[in-house]
A and B are shown apart, each in its own frame.
Chain A
Amino acid sequence: AQTVTQSQPEMSVQEAETVTLSCTYDTSENNYYLFWYKQPPSRQMILVIRQEAYKQQNATENRFSVNFQKAAKSFSLKISDSQLGDTAMYFCAFMKHGSWGKLQFGAGTQVVVTP
């Protein structure tokens, strides 16, 4: 069974600064996907970024980028130029290829962006 661990319950960052969220996972699979989802106070789950395990290049989406270390089973999210609207709970998630799309979520990291 896969497990996803987010070791930081809460992080605070000032506007325009950079924050990095950590995520580690445990799997014996070689082919899988990794995701970061954001859940703002509106409680909507929003896909931030995805990474395919067979791709070595780290994914980026505007101010969001990941550092994917497959051997270390680490998948951190970097938020650059933080904005007030980035305040949310961030969930790391794992999906085994061929699992019919089942996502395994971490416990989440609450990010608070302050003025």
Chain B
Amino acid sequence: DSGVTQTPKHLITATGQRVTLRCSPRSGDLSVYWYQQSLDQGLQFLIQYYNGEERAKGNILERFSAQQFPDLHSELNLSSLELGDSALYFCASSPQTGGGDGYTFGSGTRLTVV
């Protein structure tokens, strides 16, 4: 157990639907990162939050949004889902905002859009 908890582990949904992925960071970590892992795009950085504030944005679609709550857990919302959104979504956390020490990943949420 890495200490980073992601729920659910698996999610199957239909095109056009909306889903929410949840992440609880490791105790004491203030930064949360979201990544998407797909066969064609590999591992792609989506977005980062530090202590409730968005700090960096990567290749995140406008249909996707995220937030970090006062208790530091984070949610990634995916809407108007398309087949191409099927992927493994990782959350990771680190104590500080820089991430230079490397960060700890959760076990991921496997999203399948049918």
Residues of A within 8 A of B (CB): 33, 35, 37, 42-47, 50, 52, 91, 95, 97-108
Q: B41-62, CB under 8 A of A: which get 1 and which 0?
A: 0110100101000011010000
A108: which of B42, B48, B103 is its contact (CB, 8 Å)?
B42
Min CB distance B88 to A, Å, is 7
Q: What does DSSP make chain B's interface, helix, strand, loop or mixed? A: strand
Is A105's CB under 8 angstroms from B100's CB? no
Question: Does the CB pair A104–B45 fall under 8 Å?
Answer: yes
Asked whether B42 lies within 8 Å of A100 as measured between CB atoms, the reply is: no
Minimum CB–CB distance from B95 to chain A (whole Å) comes to 11
> Which residue of the partner chain, among A35, A45, A50, A98, contacts B90 with CB atoms under 8 Å?
A45
Q: Are B45 and A44 in contact, with the CB atoms below 8 A? A: no
Q: Are A95 and B100 in contact (CB under 8 A)?
A: yes
B101: interface (CB < 8 Å): yes
Contact B31 A101 (CB under 8 A): yes
Q: Is B74 an interface residue (CB 8 A)?
A: no
Question: Once the chains bind, are A45 and B105 in contact (CB under 8 Å)?
Answer: yes
> In the assembled complex, which residues on chain B have CB atoms less than 8 Å from the CB atom of A52?
100
A99 to B103, CA, bound (A): 14
B28 in the interface (beta carbon within 8 A)? no
Give every chain A residue within 8 A of B108 (Cβ-Cβ). 43-45
CB pair A101 B94 closer than 8 Å = yes
User: Does the CB pair B43–A101 fall under 8 Å?
Assistant: no
B-side contacts of A35, CB under 8 Å: 102
Contacting residues of chain B (77-95) with chain A, CB-CB under 8 angstroms? 88, 90, 92, 94
Q: How far is the CB of A48 from chain B (nearest CB, A)?
A: 9
Instruction: Evaluate contact between B45 and A103: CB separation under 8 angstroms.
Output: yes
Residues of A within 8 Å of B100, CB to CB, are 33, 50, 52, 95, 97, 101
Check if B103 sits within 8 Å of A101, measured CB to CB. yes
Q: How far is the CA of A50 from the CA of B48 in the complex (A)?
A: 20
The answer to whether B107 and A42 have CB atoms under 8 Å apart is yes
In the complex, whether B67 has a CB less than 8 A from a CB of chain A is no
Q: Which residue of B lies closest to A108 (CB)?
A: B42
